[in-house]
Amino acid sequence: MRSSTSSSNASEFDRPLPGRPMGASWLVAVLVCVLMIGAWEMYWRGQGATPAYRNSEGLWAIQRRRIDAGDGHRQVLTGSSRTLFNLNLDTWEKVSGERPIQLALEGTSPLGVLESLAEDPHFTGQALVGVAPGLFYSGFEYRKKALTQFDKESWSQWLGQQISMRIEPFFAFYEPDFALFTVLERQPLPDREGVQNELDVRKLSNTISVDRNTQMWSRVETDPAYADIAQRTWADGFKPIEERDAEWIEKSLETRKTQIDRAVAAVETLRARGVEVIFVQHPVEGHYAVAEPMYHPRDKTWDVLIERSGAIGLHWQDHPEMQGYRLPEWSHMSASEAQRYTETLLRLIEQERARNKEQE
């Protein structure tokens, strides 16, 4: 017998329901949820967290799109976390009169961003490229998804980002580092024999404005035990280069050459369009002061990059003004130091520009 597709007796398709109303249950549910979320929020505020913007792919994509929407003439900052933490946008704006676009991505080589800028005819400003040797010369890209999101962002991703940005400034717990299972994974359970537990990078920064002005989280400055965890994370799994086999070293040398080639090519393209590129190697201490020269000796990396690219280069070892800052976990500056450092760096950039002009 044929079934009808236009039956008027559509109630036969109703789903069965619980045999009593659920109003009281929903009342309890909302109450429980509000109380538990309130407790969770208070816990994180007690840990020193304050509401901030999530340093998400979508937030980065918004800044990147500015270049194609009339801001292509501006100063762009790109690099890794050191450029993100150490350069304060408010200070930069106060000193130079123009607010730069912050495109640095933590744990990520800036070359992908630099190439993207080189390919984009809308970009006609200046590019400051932070060089963190371990990332720059290895090409490692922890946050590559940001570039993918910029290229292929769907309208629902865009809308999701817009909604999220309306919520973020109100909740301290709404932060990837405080996600439940991230927190659980970091609990000091006894190690399982034979399993290497790698230390994860924990929350180090706060993004305090929608244009990604980012500064070190105050707890890293004020809580030595927390700074110690960060230091241990950086040094975790470190192996002196003598312990590396020849094949590994050969491969890393090849990769290094490729990265320098990529940088030089991007600078040439940008310079042909009149874009100024400045490379900056920010100061480091402790583990990084040992590991970086060991794996990326300056004469084989930085000096080659600056010579081949012909770009302005500011290396912390060359300028006493770039030294002596407080780096609580060896790699990044505290918020107050970042303001002082930004002023200094701008002054040095102007000096380098003037020197270059004189030479011309």
Partner 1 sequence: MLFNSLTFVVFFGLVLALHNAPLDWKTKKTNLLIASYLFYAAWNPPFVVLLWLSTVLDWNIAKRLFSEQRLSRRRMLLAVSVAVNLGLLGYFKYGEFLMENFVALLSLAGVAYQAPEWNIILPVGISFYTFQTMAYSLDVYLKRAEPADSFLDFALFVTFFPQLVAGPIVRPTHLLPQFAVPRKATGRQLAWGLGLIVLGLFQKIVVADGLLSPVADAAFNSDKLLNPLDAWLGTLAFSGQIFSDFAGYSTTAIGVALTLGFGLPDNFRYPYASIGFSDFWRRWHISLSSWLRDYLYIPLGGNRKNEFRTYANLMTTMLLGGLWHGASWTFVVWGGLHGLFLAAERWLVGRFGKLGIWSRWPARIFLALLTYALVNITWVFFRAQDFATAWRMITSMLSFPSDGEKVLTSIYVLETVLTIGAMLVVHWRMRNRDLHQVVAATPAWLVGALLGIMMTLILITQGGSDAFIYFQF
Which residues sit at the interface with partner 1, rule CB under 8 A?
2-10, 13-33, 36-37, 40, 154-157, 159-160, 163-164, 167, 173-176, 178-181, 184-185, 187, 189-195, 197
Closest to partner 1 by CB, 145 vs 308, is 145
Give min distance, CB of 43 to partner 1, in A.
Answer: 10
Closest to partner 1 by CB, 8 vs 359, is 8
Distance CA 314, CA 337 (A): 18
**Residue 48: exposure state from Cβ atoms within 10 A (0-12, 13-18, ≥19):** middle
List phi, psi (to 5°) of 205: -135, 165
Closest to partner 1 by CB, 154 vs 359, is 154
Closest to partner 1 by CB, 170 vs 181, is 181
Closest to partner 1 by CB, 200 vs 303, is 200
Give min distance, CB of 132 to partner 1, in A.
Answer: 25
Give min distance, CB of 50 to partner 1, in A.
Answer: 17
**Residue 81: exposure state from Cβ atoms within 10 A (0-12, 13-18, ≥19):** buried
Closest to partner 1 by CB, 50 vs 323, is 50
Nearest residue to 161 via CA among 51, 57, 52? 57
* 216 DSSP β-pair partners: 205
Give min distance, CB of 12 to partner 1, in A.
Answer: 8
Give min distance, CB of 290 to partner 1, in A.
Answer: 29
Give min distance, CB of 107 to partner 1, in A.
Answer: 17
Scanning 139-223, the segments in alpha helix (DSSP H) are 144-152, 155-167, 180-185, 218-222
CB distance 182 to 44 below 8 Å: no
CA 306 to chain centre: 24
Closest to partner 1 by CB, 189 vs 272, is 189
Give min distance, CB of 251 to partner 1, in A.
Answer: 18
CB distance 292 to 133 below 8 Å: yes
Longest dimension (CA), the chain: 95
Give min distance, CB of 18 to partner 1, in A.
Answer: 4
Closest to partner 1 by CB, 140 vs 171, is 171
Cα distances from 14 to residues 9, 19, 21, 22, 25, in angstroms, run 10, 14, 16, 18, 22
Sheet containing 126-130, strands listed edge to edge, beginning at the edge strand earlier in sequence:
101-102, 75-78, 126-130, 276-281, 312-315
